[in-house]
Amino acid sequence: MEKQEAVNQGLELVNSSTIAMLGTNGEDGFPHIKAMLKMVNQGLKKIWFSTNTSSKRVEQIKKNPKVCVYFVDPNEFKGLMLVGNIKILQDKSSRQRLWREGFERYYPLGVDDPDYSVLCFTGLWGNFYHSLSNIDFEI
């Protein structure tokens, strides 16, 4: 498999996925993985998530913004790991962009709830796996 094909298949996987695994670095030195709702993506370069400001994940990101995001298609046994940095955003426009009906259940004060944060991942490089091919690429 050529790099461009790996990038294209990786992008298809991201576009079709609603769930991603977010890997952060814990204070204990071990990686911590959590399933997150992928809200929006801009190619492989930018991926946005929403989360609780009070979460362990946000505390870990404040201390170390280096993360990885993993997408998987278990039926086709395809996987894409993206490595990069993540920012915590609490500006009104970022919050409004990701706000969805039903979020009031988790954020009772609405889009301005202080416990509502947006995470913006910026990818640096990736690794795509499928059919015994394992290809690294820069984003």
Q: What is the pLDDT of residue 1?
A: 82
Number of domains making up the chain: 1
Range of the domain at 37: 3-138
pLDDT at 115 over 90: yes
pLDDT in tens, 119-130: 999 999 999 999
- pTM of the predicted structure, to 2 decimals: 0.94
Mean of pLDDT values over 43-67: 97
pLDDT at 68 over 90: yes
pLDDT at 133 over 90: no
CATH number at residue 119: 2.30.110.10
Q: What SS3 state is found at 77?
A: coil
* Phi/psi at 100 (5° precision): -130, 155
pLDDT at 45 over 90: yes
